[in-house]
Amino acid sequence: MITTLTPSSGATVEPVAPCREVVPAWLWPAAGAGALAAAVAMPWLVNGYFISLAATALVMAVLAMSAQVLVGLAGLPPLGQAAHLTVGAYTAATIATLTSLGPVQLVAAAAAGAVAAALTGLLAVRARGTTFLMVTFGVGELVHAGASRWAPGGSEGVHTPPVVALPGLPAMTRPGWIYLYVLACTLLIGAAVAVLVRTRFALLLRGIAAHEPRVQAAGHHPRRLLLAAYTFAGGIAGAAGALSIAVTRYVSPADAAMAISALALAAALIGSGSMTGACAGAILLVAARDWAGGLLAGHGPTLLGLCFLLLAYLPRHRLAELTIRLLRRRA
């Protein structure tokens, strides 16, 4: 049953697959290598402001991947991923009093994010569709409210010392080095996610998104699978929290705000199912909010709101189909 179900669902959801037939085979790896080279060379090319902006964009890209695991694979739109990011960030801040080692903070934050997600997931995976969105939103805001009361530092937040990338290296204070550390961690997390989306587990998640009763009839437990996906996504979000500590050296309950969850979800939707697309969407939205918003006298929220409206009204599924068709015709 599963063997007949999985290839078809895999082929329909993956939007990149048809492009590979038309575009020369060498172009994708070449474009990837070019983008990577540009990303690594960035600290030597642009000023400090853009580098810290880029580091923020990378943190949001990781959070967007976390949202994409849920909405892109399992078809469940989450609006509370910032809560798991905050749990990770506070964990990393607590670990930072013991050790400044970035990787240790990263792993601890990911674990804490996963545990928090496993707990809130018990609530969330009972719902589907818009109700799932409402429940994750509610849970996220409750964590937001709880953080200002319970978390260390209260609503003032906590400042942390600079992170050390590897044992023996000095603490990172220059934005260029922090950016490169965040870039390396993002690539590692991206690799882990790339492995995940190629597993049978991911195919089962796509199966749930396409037709849940059929997956259930095949003897699987959709709710357990979704809880596992939710936990995994929470772990990625927690890791994003550790990276956000590395960038800003500061965590406050404001990190759990709905604005951050909404940005992650919108980035995942811009990516329409693909992880690379989600990262690109996050970079685009951070650029709109922080860079273009800064040019427009701090009206980032208005700009972000316009982005959301644009995203809602543009027929993006039809646009994606059109692009694919055009690419085919040219070949």
| CA dist., res. 208 & res. 205, Å (int) | 5
- Judged by CB under 8 A, the residue of 8, 131, 155, 323 near another protein is 131
Pick from 8, 97, 302, 323: which binds another protein (CB under 8 A)? Answer: 302
Binding to another protein, residues 51-110 (CB under 8 A): 75-77, 79
Residue 152 interacts with another protein (CB under 8 A): yes or no: no
Least CB distance to another protein at residue 140 (A): 9
Least distance to another protein, CB of residue 92, Å: 22
From 24, 45, 149, 330, residue interacting with another protein (rule: CB under 8 A): 149
Q: Which residue has the tokens 């800003």?
A: 248
Residues between 107 and 126 that touch another protein (CB under 8 A): 122-123, 126
Q: Is 37 in the site for another protein (CB under 8 A)?
A: no
Is residue 312 close enough to count as binding another protein by CB under 8 A? Answer: yes
Question: d(Cα 213, Cα 207) in Å, to the nearest integer?
Answer: 9
Q: Is 47 in the site for another protein (CB under 8 A)?
A: no
Point out which span in 110-118, 134-142, 157-165, 194-202 binds another protein (CB under 8 A): 134-142
Tell me the C-alpha distance between 197 and 15, whole Å: 13
Strands (E) located in 218-318:
250-251
User: Does the footprint of another protein cover residue 130 (CB under 8 A)?
Assistant: yes
Taking the CA of residue 32 as centre, how many other CA atoms within 13 Å lie in the half-sphere pointing to its CB? 8
Residues facing 164 on adjacent strands: 101
Distances (CA, A) of 18 to 22, 122, 200, 268, 291: 8, 37, 21, 20, 34
Contact indicator for 292, 303 with CB cutoff of 8 Å:
yes
Residue pair 113/238 in contact (Cβ under 8 Å)? The answer is yes
- Nearer of residues 146 and 162 to another protein, judged by Cβ: 146
Length of the chain: 331
In angstroms, what is the minimal distance from the CB of 111 to another protein?
22
What is the separation, in whole angstroms, between the first and last Cα of the chain?
36
309 binds another protein (CB under 8 A): yes
- The pair of structure tokens assigned to 160 is 């942390």
Q: How many residues bind another protein (CB under 8 A)?
A: 44
What is the contact surface with another protein in residues (CB under 8 A)?
A: 75-77, 79, 122-123, 126-135, 137-139, 141-143, 145-146, 149-150, 257-259, 262, 266, 269, 299, 301-302, 304-309, 311-313
